[in-house]
Amino acid sequence: VPATNYIYTPLNQLKGGTIVNVYGVVKFFKPPYLSKGTDYCSVVTIVDQTNVKLTCLLFSGNYEALPIIYKNGDIVRFHRLKIQVYKKETQGITSSGFASLTFEGTLGAPIIPRTSSKYFNFTTEDHKMVETLRVWASTHMSPSWTLLKLCDVQPMQYFDLTCQLLGKAEVDGASFLLKVWDGTRTPFPSWRVLIQDLVLEGDLSHIHRLQNLTIDILVYDNHVHVARSLKVGSFLRIYSLHTKLQSMNSENQTMLSLEFHLHGGTSYGRGIRVLPETNSDVDQLKKDLESANLTANQHSDVICQSEPDDSFPNGVLLCHPGWSEVAQSRLTASSASWVHAILLPQPPE
């Protein structure tokens, strides 16, 4: 559209009751979710070179109209953001005509605006603004430590996962199963949720071929309707995924398995977002999937339907360099060098 001379306000100069245009680097966000009303909501906290943070509460009846943010460090441009003061804290909210653009924050990445709008203004000055924020963020913001591969996860951990969806199934009204992979294997055996093959949507032969590399994720409550809408084969980012180590007793043996849960609610940014194939993280994921070793030895999968339990009975032996046993304790997964768990008969009382 014809160039318009927009003025952008630094975050340290915002005043309540004004409508402004701002640029910022994403420090925290919640993917769009259905609010208690009919609108979708997203919470985004941004920061700029002034080191001032601004939390924005964004609402829209259209999911796609909210900022398309994939990870912390993305850069956003907000037009017609209303500034208000609530409980002595300055915050931004949507106003009439609110519009946003999002850019990847990585230095050197193509500057391609993400937006659902067909028409928007983007000038050479905007290009310079994005580049300037990228350079500033590269030295003032630490990379996201929450984005992990499956080979690096540990029990009792929350993390973000980039993966491909292989299958999905309804478990019950409050939970839904997603089968995913990222080309790497978990350091512990992965649990398997018992379902009938007939209710699983996906290529069963392909899932069976990749079973050494797939994990089962249970999503709950408000995330179920999002999970139902996902297309098998799509690339996902799942935010604030929780791992738990489950112990099972069978014939005087203890077996450990790693569970994956996306709990209900939106605390800590929990949610699911579909990534486009043009995303740079998807490019890397595709390379990882193509080079994945499908024939490598893998732990035996553990089938489990019981409720998770964080406690561990006596007699658990872990294969760990330099370690012999972990007994009468609660596993905290403080080391990343555990490689797998084995079975050991329970000692006598």
Q: Phi and psi dihedrals of 150, rounded to 5?
A: -60, -30
Angle at 334 between CA 330 and CA 336, to 5 degrees: 125
Residue 310 has a pLDDT of 38
Residue 45 located in a structural domain: yes
Q: Burial of 263 by CB count in 10 Å (0-12 exposed, 13-18 middle, 19+ buried)? A: middle
Selection from 255, 256, 257, 252 nearest residue 347 by Cα: 252
Pairing state between β 147-148 and 191-192:
unpaired
Residue 250 has a pLDDT of 67
Residue 328 located in a structural domain: no
Residues 162 and 119 in one domain: no
| CATH for 231 | 2.40.50.140
Q: Which band of pLDDT confidence, cut at 50, 70 and 90, is reported for residue 323?
A: very low
Residues 173 and 102 in one domain: no
Q: Quick check: 194 and 129 in contact, CB under 8 A?
A: no
18 pLDDT higher than 60: yes
Phi-psi region of 202 (alpha: psi -120 to 50; beta: other; left: phi over 0): left
Long-range residue pairs from 203-207, CB within 8 A, at least 24 positions apart, any chain: 203/166, 203/167, 203/232, 204/167, 206/166, 207/166, 207/167, 207/179
Selection from 235, 318, 320 nearest residue 273 by Cα: 235
Residue 142 has a pLDDT of 82
Domain count, the chain: 2
Domain boundary among 283, 302, 325: 283
**Average model confidence (pLDDT) for the chain?**
83
Selection from 205, 204, 230 nearest residue 217 by Cα: 230
Q: What tens digit of pLDDT does each residue of 259-296 get?
A: 999 999 999 999 999 999 989 899 999 999 999 987 65
Residues 57 and 135 in one domain: yes
Residue 91 located in a structural domain: yes
Residue 338 located in a structural domain: no
Q: Quick check: 334 and 318 in contact, CB under 8 A?
A: no
Residue 118 has a pLDDT of 87
Q: Quick check: 155 and 326 in contact, CB under 8 A?
A: no
Q: Quick check: 267 and 276 in contact, CB under 8 A?
A: no
Domain carrying residue 45: 18-140
Residues 62 and 134 in one domain: yes
Residues 273 and 173 in one domain: yes
Cα separation, 334 vs 227, in Å, equals: 31
Residue 344 has a pLDDT of 29
Q: Quick check: 218 and 171 in contact, CB under 8 A?
A: yes
Residue 334 located in a structural domain: no
Inter-CA distances, 167 with 45, 195, 227, 286, Å: 33, 12, 11, 17
Residues 29 and 125 in one domain: yes
Residue 10 located in a structural domain: no
Residue 12 located in a structural domain: no
Q: Quick check: 54 and 46 in contact, CB under 8 A?
A: yes
Residues 65 and 121 in one domain: yes
Angle at 300 between CA 294 and CA 305, to 5 degrees: 115
pTM: 0.80
Residue 294 located in a structural domain: no
Residues 130 and 201 in one domain: no
Q: What tens digit of pLDDT does each residue of 28-86 get?
A: 999 999 988 889 999 999 999 999 999 999 999 999 999 999 999 999 999 999 999 99
If one counts every other C-beta atom within 10 angstroms of the C-beta of residue 179, the result is: 25
Q: Which band of pLDDT confidence, cut at 50, 70 and 90, is reported for residue 196?
A: confident
